[in-house]
Structure 1
Amino acid sequence: MEDSYKCYFNNWNNIAVQFYTYIYCEMKHKFLTLFSIAFILSGNIISQNKNAFIVESPESPNIITINDNNILLADGTTYSFTVDTPKDEGLVSTGLTVDNIKKQIQVLAGGYFDYTVYNSKKEIKTEGVLASGDILEVKSQGKKKAYTINIEKAALSPSLSLHRNNMTANTSGDITLDFVAGQRTPKAVINIYIPKGINATLDNTTVDVIGRGEVSLRNLPYQSIGKTGTNYSYKKVGTVDITQNGDKGQILTFSDIDLRPLNAIDLRIRIKGVVLSKTGDYVFQSDYTTTEPQVYKSKMTNMSSATVKVVNTISDFRHDMPRDFTYKEDKALFLKPELRWSAPRNEANIVLMQSVDKGKKWTVAKNVNATSGRLITDNLTPNTMYMFKLLVKDGAHKGESNTISFYSGKFDVKTFGAKGDDKTDDTEAINKAISHINAIGGGILSFTDGNYMVRTAHLKSNVWLHVDKSATIKGLLGQDAPEATWFSDRDYRAGLSPTDPRPYANPENWLTKQDVGHTFFRNVMFFAERQENIKIFGNGRISGNGSLVNSDGVMKNSPEKRADKMFTFKLCKNIEIGGYNIGKDMWYDPDKDEPYYIDEGGKKNFELDNILHLDRGGHFVLLATGTDSLNVHDTYLGKYYNGNARDIYDFMACSHVAAVNIYSKMSSDDIVKLGSDCSLGFTRPVKDYTVRNIIGDTNCNLFQIGSETADDIQDVYVDNIYVLGSNKAGFSISTNDGANIKNVYLNSGRTGKIHSRSKMLRTRAPFFISISNRGRVIGADVQMFTFKEGESIRKELLCTNSNIGSVENIIINDIDITEVYGGSSHSGKRWAPYSGKQNKATPIIAGYKLPDSDVVEGGLNFTLPNGKHTGYITNIQFNNVNLLVKGGHPSEDSNASPPEIGVGRYNVNDLKIQPAYGFWFRHAKNILLKNCTINYEESDGRHAIVLDDVIGGKIESVKMPDSVTKPLIKLISSKEISIE
């Protein structure tokens, strides 16, 4: 078939509202591509002329209308950058191409079709954007029809979908709509058309704009935009108006909405407590207007509408997967499902029907325990697919409910076509299985005995993955590409420089405010975005298998080698990764160099049969961003392969997080790290962390808050840490971008019993508590300044319009620190003894102060928004801390004056030598050292404690070695200090 395209549509499965379509395309008889598209129709109705030959596909953003002889297409421009796009070449056409039209049309009668495109001169057109006057000729099943193409300048169609497509009459329920614009734009105007009979108000309706969080319409203008510098163009998230649409209903108009970031869903709108008495179809519609690169308005299309059908019968019969924070193996999960619905309330007239043969035969279910709106059925046969429905015998809701499916066991991934033979690419089978289980309401997908190769698995709500002890999931090259974005990220991808202004060049560009690994999400082995209730658990193994990159230069690689993460969760909820929780604490045996569980009576249990093994995670084993209620536990990192692992668990802008029983044999970056960045296109505050029994060796920090600190962080509780080696710090808090960090506790007992004293060995700086004003936030600006600091002249950037952060209420208890040098086994040997050449540093507690105007060439020409030019660390306490350092410094080092922490200099090594061998404080208030010991192995000529610009402090019952040459405690510009 010369210069034409042949497409075969095989709709192989229809479960609930989930469709899977496999499209095979040939050009000149040559196989081109195979891809799968999952469409959730969500009540959208394609208007079908019974005489029509072709209709638009469910996903057809360019198609405005198709009539008997014409197709009207939307066409315009937008900005879209891939990681390969030159930074000034992101303006692209949104027009539909010859090749891509096959994705947006389908033959109404079904089956395959082929097509040919001709230009206005009747010449065959094989590539390029469709233009007015082109002719599309479609052939299918012996029929042929030609359509004239017409173009209209318009925005690509939005997608509008509903969380429920049916409602029961006279029954209260919520209606939730998801709106996604067809193209990106700042300052969008979005109209949502509410059908007559549904009354949205400022108080009964909520909205979540690009994942910022749900607020009532009344409070939308007052929702926080996050932390920003003063150069950010938005002062509010948006505004909303409700107007009457004649006798058709209402219009919700959202104005000044920033749709440049794409976080899966642009608006999630929830109308609460809707009661509809009239049966029939209620059609919602939507459109939007762009402002850049040009003003376009979208047209009303099938994609931009969604329909709720109101019926008299029960329409929301369902099985909800449990949402327990921690998985527990329980037969009731499979054999006693809890089923729910909203109406009616007279359970005496309801019968539960069940089928085990795909609905061919129905019987009355036995052993049903029903209460109002819920029932629990028993006596199910294991590993059987059931269908259930309710039969209402009389009353207003008489009749059969919707039908649901439930599997009384764990699905075996092999039944979906996965081979697990250590060579077959199982990606397609795994994703098919996940989509199937999601479509029926949820369940557990089990990876049984075998080695499964996967590129990118797309995780979905209510689907739990079980990794059996005899199973390994391995990464495979060719994972999904990094997502296209509104801005280019090429101005900054990684690096530390006090003189490079490029991260700040465009204050609106959120992509340049953090390293490239944080910026992109889809180049990953397991991906989830805006999903809920996902678990990955078991005692098997997951390995990146060398397919995941751990370098900041990842985007320089060829496209198939750009994945750098094992797990990504973006704006998700209720996530668990771990082994089986056996209710015991993990600790470490230095003789065996292995972790163990503490059994009753303190016995050591080295079996670890419950552990989930992870290795070769690339840049991140886990990158969770904007994800709440997250539980990682009982994992062993690096048992089977001890390289190709950088950060382990990174929590960015996440809250309500637990990290418990984590052992990392060796990594090149932080083991447990929390912070907040700008990668979502906005910042989120962080709170409520439970971190317990963290053991490991790292080239960086065992526990770290920072360096990405674009929003506030509070209420972090850490108990029982065991640092085996750390080339930066054992315990680090570093606010660099304006975050206020408060209420961080080490060994307070708030996560549970303190079973052992925490330990640090071979760590360069035991503690690194610091403030800088790097200011990598949206809207921040920098200027180059030359200023004098001590005897040095510094020429570097200073952030001029974003506030300095703060650190307060840091309580550190009960820890023994020895072998204070950078001795991580990352260098190769486990562990190299101290030779005098390794890096070492003091426990550092250092706030930040801008230079005074009189030492700046030309003066300091700015004042920060809050007027504060010093960031203090306030109320920091060390109780029962035993510190034994190497010592050996000459007395000249007692006069050392470490530089202030700058825009590109905010790590331990940037502070060079400290004037104390014990604790060094600068820019701090209300400090406490109590019941501590400070000592050295070799005599040291520095002070035990130095307080520099410390206001208020108490040193009580601290044991220090006798000093002949230097005072043990030195005060510099400090006051209100009590020494007992």
Structure 2
Amino acid sequence: MTISRSFALLLLLIPVLLFAQTADNKTPHAPGMGRGLLLKSINVTAPFKMPALTVPDFSNCVQIRITDLGAMPGDKEKNALAISTAIDRANKAGGGTVIIPAGEWLTKKIQLKSNVNLHLEKGAVLLFSGDPADYLPAVHSSWEGMECYNYAPLIYAWQCRNIAITGEGTLRATMNIWQQWFSRPPAHLESIKRLYNLTWEGRPVNERRMVNDTAHLRPQFIQFNRSENVLLEGVSIINSPFWTIHPYRCSNVVIRNIRVYAHGHNNDGIDPEMTQNMLIENCVFDQGDDAIAIKSGRNPEGWRSKMPSKNIVIRHCTVKNGHQLVAIGSELSGGIENIFVDSCTVLDGAKLNHLLFIKTNERMGGYVKNIYMRHVKAGHIDLGILGIETDVLYQWRSLVPTYEKRLTPISNVFLSDVSATEVKFISRILAQPSLPVKNISLTRVTAGNVPKQNNIHEYVSGFRMQ
């Protein structure tokens, strides 16, 4: 190469090099990204080493309004087609925002693609059909820690990068059919028993097809599946067939400033599962089940993946109702570690069992370690502040036998500056004689009224309360 050509090439590279050095917490384009899409870095403080999180920034991307593609209020088919077409165009552009304008838009399932932001303007309502047929064909999903082909989540992302759902609008599920599926009749129980046995046998996921007339395995509302650089911000979510938000085998996930109202069966708010490097902040939960439930697969599913849920920070959240502020398990066979719950509030009058509940059983294996909770305030709690139980089997106790016994080591749980007005106990820890729970520390953990004893313990080693 001649000197003049080298000098010309250097001149071309200078703007790129300057951008890379001076961009404020943003990184240049990755392969497949258009010029307008950037990645933003978020630093999060935690009591453990917490990697910086990466989320997409669509502020300079092309915007595509669904009304320009034929969307019409009340027309499910046209709306679904317009949303799908807009997502395709945004994806092919290497980055784009699909705009849902004010008004109510009835639709079917939505499948996101990489480099796409689904944005709901203020006053926009995406109303999802209640017809199960609108969530077919079946997709690679999961049910209570076991992978299978099931009805598509209402919003589904499969192996995506740089995706977002943002805005001030509302996502609402129509519940007329799903709520009929809340019960667990014998046919449903036989179907989940069949799925359980298929996972034990190691059968391929494409052989675990659970969509039939009797299984009635309800889909999640939002599932990010095997995706990275995920942002969910600002929206309200009302009703859900099953778990509301399910980041599954994901990394770099930020969920903030959302509001969830869902009071059906199994209506957890957020269920991170085998997911790493995650921030949940400034969210409001009004749930029929756990506000946040951290999971990592059931039995062989979790053992084979060896993919723990880890590095998850939950801060400045408010719970109006729910079973627990944070639950860990019971599906935790892949392990759970490095969880930090900071500065959260449970409103007085909320229906709550625990602030922190760690639950497992003799079949789960996995592990739980390095769990931190600080600066949490609550009113009346039906049970207690901290619960740890190692014999929680629910319907599985009678459905199937214990094929293989694997206990769950639980250690290093630290609570500080946590208070409630009234509880039945401060802590209840029920472990096994062959594997005690280890290293539990409660510092300034108090309740205004404890009618019986503060701590109810079986097989605990290294408990400190000060």
- Flag whether TM exceeds 0.5 (same fold): yes
* The structure with more strand, counted as a fraction of residues: 1
2:256 is aligned with 1:646: no
- 1:629 corresponding residue in structure 2: 252
Alignment partner for residue 323 of structure 1, among 35, 39, 47? 39
Alignment partner for residue 448 of structure 2, among 884, 890, 893? 884
1:649 Cα deviation after fit:
0.6
- 2:311 corresponding residue in structure 1: 688
CA displacement 1:263-298 (0-9 Å, x = unmatched): xxxxxxxxxxxxxxxxxxxxxxxxxxxxxxxxxxxx
CA displacement 1:321-374 (0-9 Å, x = unmatched): 2232456684xx24xxxxxxxxxxxxxxxxxxxxxxxxxxxxxxxxxxxxxxxx
Contact 1:652 1:676 in 2 (8 A): yes
* Residue pairs, 1:327-726, within 5 angstroms: 330=59, 333-334=60-61, 407=62, 410-419=63-72, 421-425=73-77, 426-476=79-129, 477=131, 478-481=133-136, 483=138, 515=144, 519-520=148-149, 522-546=151-175, 549=178, 551=182, 553=184, 563-579=218-234, 612-638=235-261, 646-664=267-285, 666-678=286-298, 682-683=304-305, 684-724=307-347, 725-726=350-351
Q: Decide whether aligned partners of structure 1 residues 707 and 773 sit closer, same or farther in structure 2, where only a CA change above 3 A counts.
A: closer
* Residue pairs, 1:6-85, within 5 angstroms: none
Query: SS state of the match for residue 237, structure 2?
Result: strand
* In structure 2, distance between residues paired with 1:322 and 1:547: 41
* In structure 2, distance between residues paired with 1:740 and 1:681: 11
Contact 1:623 1:650 in 2 (8 A): yes
* The structure with more helix, counted as a fraction of residues: 2
* In structure 2, distance between residues paired with 1:669 and 1:552: 15
- Larger relative contact order (Cα-Cα within 8 Å, sequence gap ≥ 6): 2
Task: Give the number of equivalent residue pairs.
Answer: 387
Q: Decide whether aligned partners of structure 1 residues 521 and 871 sit closer, same or farther in structure 2, where only a CA change above 3 A counts.
A: farther
Query: SS state of the match for residue 85, structure 2?
Result: helix
Contact 1:773 1:804 in 2 (8 A): no
Amino acid at match of 2:383: R
1:762 Cα deviation after fit:
3.0
Contact 1:723 1:763 in 2 (8 A): no
- 1:804 corresponding residue in structure 2: 407
Query: SS state of the match for residue 528, structure 1?
Result: strand
Q: Decide whether aligned partners of structure 1 residues 885 and 799 sit closer, same or farther in structure 2, where only a CA change above 3 A counts.
A: farther
CA displacement 1:761-816 (0-9 Å, x = unmatched): 23322211233486999xxxx9x9xxxxxxxxxxx987464431111111100011
2:453 is aligned with 1:917: yes
Q: Decide whether aligned partners of structure 1 residues 473 and 880 sit closer, same or farther in structure 2, where only a CA change above 3 A counts.
A: same
Q: Decide whether aligned partners of structure 1 residues 534 and 841 sit closer, same or farther in structure 2, where only a CA change above 3 A counts.
A: same
* In structure 1, distance between residues paired with 2:120 and 2:70: 17
Query: SS state of the match for residue 429, structure 2?
Result: strand
Contact 1:885 1:917 in 2 (8 A): no
Contact 2:253 2:279 in 1 (8 A): yes
Q: Decide whether aligned partners of structure 1 residues 561 and 732 sit closer, same or farther in structure 2, where only a CA change above 3 A counts.
A: closer
CA displacement 1:919-948 (0-9 Å, x = unmatched): 112211111100xxxxxxxxxxxxxxxxxx
* Contiguous gaps of at least 5 residues in structure 2: 1-30, 41-53, 189-211
Amino acid at match of 2:369: K
Q: Aligned Cα RMSD in Å?
A: 3.5
Percent of pairs with identical residues: 18
- Whose Rg is larger? 1
Query: SS state of the match for residue 620, structure 1?
Result: coil
* Contiguous gaps of at least 5 residues in structure 1: 1-314, 335-406, 486-509, 580-611, 748-753, 785-795, 821-839, 850-869, 888-915, 931-980
- 2:4 corresponding residue in structure 1: none
Contact 1:615 1:645 in 2 (8 A): no
* In structure 2, distance between residues paired with 1:880 and 1:317: 49
CA displacement 1:899-932 (0-9 Å, x = unmatched): xxxxxxxxxxxxxxxxx521112211111100xx
Contact 1:525 1:563 in 2 (8 A): no
- 1:845 corresponding residue in structure 2: 429
Q: Decide whether aligned partners of structure 1 residues 772 and 560 sit closer, same or farther in structure 2, where only a CA change above 3 A counts.
A: closer
1:885 Cα deviation after fit:
3.4
Q: Decide whether aligned partners of structure 1 residues 475 and 773 sit closer, same or farther in structure 2, where only a CA change above 3 A counts.
A: closer
Contact 1:517 1:552 in 2 (8 A): no
Q: Decide whether aligned partners of structure 1 residues 562 and 431 sit closer, same or farther in structure 2, where only a CA change above 3 A counts.
A: farther
Contact 1:617 1:648 in 2 (8 A): no
CA displacement 1:625-662 (0-9 Å, x = unmatched): 11111111111123xx8667711111111111111111
